[in-house]
Amino acid sequence: MGVLNVTPDSFSDGGDHLATDAAIVQALAMIADGANIIDVGPESTRPGSQPVPAVGQIERAIPIIDAIRAKDDRITISIDTRLASVAKAALDAGADIVNDISALRDDPSILDCVATSGAAVVLMHMRGRPEDMQAGGGPRYDDVVGEIASFLDRRRDVAVDSGIDPSRIIFDPGIGFGKRVEDNLIILRHLDRLVALGAPVLIGASRKSFIGHVLDIEDPKQRGAASLACAVMAVMAGASIIRTHDVRATVEAVRMHWAITHA
Protein backbone atom coordinates (compact mmCIF):
# COMPACT_ATOMS: atom_id res chain seq x y z
CA MET A 1 0.00 0.00 0.00
CA GLY A 2 1.61 3.21 -1.21
CA VAL A 3 1.03 6.31 0.93
CA LEU A 4 -0.34 9.30 -0.99
CA ASN A 5 -0.85 12.13 1.47
CA VAL A 6 -2.60 15.08 -0.15
CA THR A 7 -2.16 17.35 2.85
CA PRO A 8 0.01 20.34 3.74
CA ASP A 9 0.96 18.98 7.17
CA SER A 10 1.56 15.21 7.20
CA PHE A 11 4.52 14.25 9.39
CA SER A 12 6.79 12.98 6.60
CA ASP A 13 5.66 14.35 3.25
CA GLY A 14 3.26 17.18 4.05
CA GLY A 15 2.85 19.44 1.03
CA ASP A 16 4.83 17.20 -1.33
CA HIS A 17 1.73 16.00 -3.20
CA LEU A 18 -0.89 18.58 -2.29
CA ALA A 19 -1.26 19.74 -5.91
CA THR A 20 -3.36 17.35 -8.00
CA ASP A 21 -0.75 17.03 -10.75
CA ALA A 22 1.99 16.17 -8.25
CA ALA A 23 -0.26 13.61 -6.55
CA ILE A 24 -1.08 11.90 -9.84
CA VAL A 25 2.59 11.71 -10.81
CA GLN A 26 3.41 10.18 -7.42
CA ALA A 27 0.53 7.69 -7.62
CA LEU A 28 1.59 6.49 -11.07
CA ALA A 29 5.21 6.22 -9.91
CA MET A 30 4.18 4.07 -6.94
CA ILE A 31 2.09 1.84 -9.21
CA ALA A 32 5.09 1.43 -11.53
CA ASP A 33 7.23 0.58 -8.49
CA GLY A 34 4.91 -2.28 -7.55
CA ALA A 35 2.20 -0.85 -5.31
CA ASN A 36 -1.01 -2.89 -5.24
CA ILE A 37 -2.99 -0.25 -3.33
CA ILE A 38 -2.83 3.55 -3.33
CA ASP A 39 -3.96 5.04 -0.01
CA VAL A 40 -5.20 8.59 -0.56
CA GLY A 41 -5.04 10.65 2.64
CA PRO A 42 -6.79 14.05 2.64
CA GLU A 43 -6.36 14.62 6.39
CA SER A 44 -3.17 14.49 8.43
CA THR A 45 -3.57 12.35 11.53
CA ARG A 46 -0.07 12.88 12.92
CA PRO A 47 0.11 13.54 16.67
CA GLY A 48 -1.23 17.00 17.44
CA SER A 49 -3.03 17.42 14.13
CA GLN A 50 -6.49 18.96 13.89
CA PRO A 51 -9.48 17.47 12.03
CA VAL A 52 -10.18 18.57 8.45
CA PRO A 53 -13.86 19.18 7.59
CA ALA A 54 -15.50 16.87 5.08
CA VAL A 55 -15.68 19.49 2.35
CA GLY A 56 -11.94 20.09 2.58
CA GLN A 57 -11.17 16.39 2.45
CA ILE A 58 -13.44 15.91 -0.56
CA GLU A 59 -11.87 18.85 -2.41
CA ARG A 60 -8.42 17.35 -1.87
CA ALA A 61 -9.13 13.68 -2.52
CA ILE A 62 -11.80 13.29 -5.19
CA PRO A 63 -10.03 14.95 -8.14
CA ILE A 64 -7.01 12.75 -7.42
CA ILE A 65 -9.06 9.55 -7.16
CA ASP A 66 -10.85 10.47 -10.40
CA ALA A 67 -7.52 11.03 -12.13
CA ILE A 68 -5.89 7.85 -10.82
CA ARG A 69 -8.91 5.80 -11.83
CA ALA A 70 -8.88 7.38 -15.31
CA LYS A 71 -5.23 6.38 -15.73
CA ASP A 72 -5.52 2.89 -14.21
CA ASP A 73 -8.82 1.04 -13.88
CA ARG A 74 -7.27 -1.94 -12.06
CA ILE A 75 -5.29 -0.46 -9.17
CA THR A 76 -6.95 -0.72 -5.77
CA ILE A 77 -7.59 2.68 -4.20
CA SER A 78 -8.06 3.32 -0.50
CA ILE A 79 -9.48 6.46 1.09
CA ASP A 80 -7.99 7.33 4.48
CA THR A 81 -10.88 9.03 6.27
CA ARG A 82 -13.11 8.89 9.34
CA LEU A 83 -16.09 10.62 7.75
CA ALA A 84 -18.98 8.91 5.98
CA SER A 85 -19.53 11.71 3.46
CA VAL A 86 -15.88 11.60 2.41
CA ALA A 87 -15.92 7.81 2.21
CA LYS A 88 -19.06 7.84 0.06
CA ALA A 89 -17.67 10.45 -2.32
CA ALA A 90 -14.45 8.47 -2.66
CA LEU A 91 -16.23 5.18 -3.22
CA ASP A 92 -18.46 6.82 -5.83
CA ALA A 93 -15.31 8.09 -7.55
CA GLY A 94 -13.86 4.58 -7.71
CA ALA A 95 -12.17 3.86 -4.39
CA ASP A 96 -12.30 0.27 -3.11
CA ILE A 97 -11.29 0.47 0.56
CA VAL A 98 -12.18 2.74 3.47
CA ASN A 99 -9.19 3.10 5.78
CA ASP A 100 -10.61 4.44 9.05
CA ILE A 101 -8.18 5.16 11.88
CA SER A 102 -11.13 5.35 14.30
CA ALA A 103 -12.33 1.83 13.41
CA LEU A 104 -15.72 3.27 12.35
CA ARG A 105 -16.29 5.04 15.70
CA ASP A 106 -15.95 8.75 14.90
CA ASP A 107 -18.85 8.88 12.41
CA PRO A 108 -21.36 6.06 13.07
CA SER A 109 -23.02 6.56 9.67
CA ILE A 110 -19.85 5.30 8.01
CA LEU A 111 -20.89 1.78 9.06
CA ASP A 112 -23.88 1.86 6.72
CA CYS A 113 -21.82 3.53 4.00
CA VAL A 114 -19.30 0.68 3.99
CA ALA A 115 -21.95 -2.03 4.35
CA THR A 116 -24.11 -0.84 1.46
CA SER A 117 -21.14 -0.22 -0.84
CA GLY A 118 -19.55 -3.63 -0.32
CA ALA A 119 -16.18 -1.92 0.09
CA ALA A 120 -13.36 -3.37 2.14
CA VAL A 121 -12.56 -1.59 5.39
CA VAL A 122 -9.49 -1.15 7.58
CA LEU A 123 -10.26 -1.09 11.30
CA MET A 124 -7.40 0.53 13.19
CA HIS A 125 -6.69 0.66 16.91
CA MET A 126 -6.12 4.10 18.38
CA ARG A 127 -6.38 5.24 21.97
CA GLY A 128 -7.35 8.89 22.14
CA ARG A 129 -7.56 11.13 19.09
CA PRO A 130 -4.81 12.48 16.81
CA GLU A 131 -4.83 15.84 18.60
CA ASP A 132 -4.17 14.26 22.03
CA MET A 133 -3.19 10.62 21.53
CA GLN A 134 0.48 11.16 22.40
CA ALA A 135 -0.12 13.57 25.29
CA GLY A 136 2.14 12.83 28.23
CA GLY A 137 4.23 10.47 26.13
CA GLY A 138 1.30 8.25 25.20
CA PRO A 139 -1.12 6.05 27.17
CA ARG A 140 -0.09 3.09 29.29
CA TYR A 141 -1.11 -0.50 28.61
CA ASP A 142 -1.01 -3.59 30.81
CA ASP A 143 -0.84 -5.87 27.74
CA VAL A 144 -0.70 -3.75 24.60
CA VAL A 145 -1.10 -6.62 22.14
CA GLY A 146 -3.89 -8.25 24.11
CA GLU A 147 -5.77 -4.97 24.50
CA ILE A 148 -5.45 -4.23 20.77
CA ALA A 149 -6.67 -7.74 19.92
CA SER A 150 -9.73 -7.35 22.15
CA PHE A 151 -10.53 -3.95 20.66
CA LEU A 152 -10.24 -5.16 17.06
CA ASP A 153 -12.38 -8.21 17.80
CA ARG A 154 -15.09 -5.99 19.28
CA ARG A 155 -15.00 -3.58 16.37
CA ARG A 156 -15.23 -6.48 13.93
CA ASP A 157 -18.37 -7.66 15.72
CA VAL A 158 -19.90 -4.19 15.42
CA ALA A 159 -19.00 -4.01 11.73
CA VAL A 160 -20.45 -7.45 10.96
CA ASP A 161 -23.61 -6.69 12.94
CA SER A 162 -23.98 -3.59 10.75
CA GLY A 163 -23.90 -5.68 7.59
CA ILE A 164 -20.23 -5.49 6.62
CA ASP A 165 -18.94 -8.70 5.07
CA PRO A 166 -16.38 -10.18 7.53
CA SER A 167 -14.19 -11.25 4.61
CA ARG A 168 -13.80 -7.54 3.71
CA ILE A 169 -12.41 -6.51 7.11
CA ILE A 170 -8.71 -5.70 7.60
CA PHE A 171 -7.05 -5.10 10.98
CA ASP A 172 -4.42 -2.44 11.72
CA PRO A 173 -2.86 -2.29 15.22
CA GLY A 174 -2.19 1.43 14.75
CA ILE A 175 1.58 1.74 15.06
CA GLY A 176 2.26 5.21 16.47
CA PHE A 177 -1.36 6.01 17.28
CA GLY A 178 -1.60 6.39 21.05
CA LYS A 179 1.45 4.17 21.60
CA ARG A 180 4.77 4.63 23.36
CA VAL A 181 8.02 3.63 21.63
CA GLU A 182 8.15 0.36 23.55
CA ASP A 183 4.51 -0.40 22.68
CA ASN A 184 5.24 -0.15 18.96
CA LEU A 185 8.20 -2.49 19.31
CA ILE A 186 6.16 -5.02 21.29
CA ILE A 187 3.37 -4.94 18.68
CA LEU A 188 5.84 -5.79 15.93
CA ARG A 189 7.54 -8.43 18.09
CA HIS A 190 4.24 -10.20 18.85
CA LEU A 191 2.33 -9.43 15.66
CA ASP A 192 1.53 -13.13 15.23
CA ARG A 193 -1.02 -12.78 18.07
CA LEU A 194 -2.98 -10.29 15.97
CA VAL A 195 -2.61 -12.33 12.78
CA ALA A 196 -4.19 -15.22 14.70
CA LEU A 197 -7.45 -13.24 14.89
CA GLY A 198 -8.07 -14.32 11.31
CA ALA A 199 -8.36 -11.00 9.45
CA PRO A 200 -5.65 -9.70 7.11
CA VAL A 201 -3.32 -7.42 9.08
CA LEU A 202 -2.04 -4.08 7.77
CA ILE A 203 1.13 -2.57 9.21
CA GLY A 204 2.01 1.10 8.80
CA ALA A 205 5.38 1.64 10.46
CA SER A 206 6.95 3.56 7.60
CA ARG A 207 9.11 6.52 8.73
CA LYS A 208 7.31 6.81 12.07
CA SER A 209 8.70 8.55 15.12
CA PHE A 210 9.39 5.40 17.16
CA ILE A 211 12.07 4.56 14.57
CA GLY A 212 13.55 7.99 15.06
CA HIS A 213 13.61 7.51 18.83
CA VAL A 214 15.29 4.10 18.61
CA LEU A 215 17.91 5.19 16.07
CA ASP A 216 18.16 8.92 16.85
CA ILE A 217 17.06 9.92 13.34
CA GLU A 218 15.16 13.21 13.39
CA ASP A 219 14.29 13.50 9.68
CA PRO A 220 11.46 11.06 8.80
CA LYS A 221 12.75 10.76 5.24
CA GLN A 222 16.00 9.30 6.58
CA ARG A 223 14.21 6.39 8.31
CA GLY A 224 13.79 4.31 5.14
CA ALA A 225 16.22 1.49 5.92
CA ALA A 226 14.75 0.94 9.39
CA SER A 227 11.25 1.06 7.90
CA LEU A 228 12.26 -1.82 5.62
CA ALA A 229 13.39 -3.82 8.65
CA CYS A 230 9.97 -3.30 10.22
CA ALA A 231 8.24 -4.28 6.97
CA VAL A 232 10.15 -7.54 6.62
CA MET A 233 9.61 -8.43 10.28
CA ALA A 234 5.89 -7.79 9.83
CA VAL A 235 5.68 -9.99 6.75
CA MET A 236 7.58 -12.74 8.56
CA ALA A 237 4.94 -12.58 11.31
CA GLY A 238 2.10 -12.88 8.80
CA ALA A 239 1.11 -9.32 7.89
CA SER A 240 -0.79 -9.11 4.61
CA ILE A 241 -0.42 -5.41 3.74
CA ILE A 242 2.53 -3.07 4.28
CA ARG A 243 1.68 0.62 4.14
CA THR A 244 4.78 2.48 2.98
CA HIS A 245 6.12 5.76 1.66
CA ASP A 246 8.95 3.94 -0.15
CA VAL A 247 7.23 1.47 -2.44
CA ARG A 248 10.07 0.20 -4.63
CA ALA A 249 12.45 -0.53 -1.75
CA THR A 250 9.69 -2.21 0.25
CA VAL A 251 8.60 -4.36 -2.68
CA GLU A 252 12.20 -5.45 -3.25
CA ALA A 253 12.76 -6.26 0.44
CA VAL A 254 9.55 -8.29 0.68
CA ARG A 255 10.27 -10.13 -2.60
CA MET A 256 13.74 -11.01 -1.36
CA HIS A 257 12.28 -12.35 1.88
CA TRP A 258 9.79 -14.39 -0.14
CA ALA A 259 12.53 -15.82 -2.38
CA ILE A 260 14.62 -16.89 0.59
CA THR A 261 11.76 -18.48 2.53
CA HIS A 262 10.59 -20.40 -0.55
CA ALA A 263 14.06 -21.51 -1.74
Average pLDDT estimate for 219-248: 97
CB 172 within 8 A of CB 156: no
What would the CATH number be for the domain defined by 2-261?
Answer: 3.20.20.20
Grade residue 15 by pLDDT with cuts at 50, 70 and 90.
low
Least confident of 6-10, 38-42, 44-48, 148-152: 6-10
* Residues ≥6 apart with Cβ < 8 Å to 198: none
pTM: 0.93
Total length of the chain:
263
- What mean pLDDT is reported for the chain? 93
Least confident of 35-49, 86-100, 200-214: 35-49
Give yes or no for residue 17 having a pLDDT over 70: no
User: Which residues are tagged catalytic?
Assistant: 208, 243
> What tens digit of pLDDT does each residue of 124-165 get?
999 877 777 677 777 899 999 999 999 999 999 999 999 999
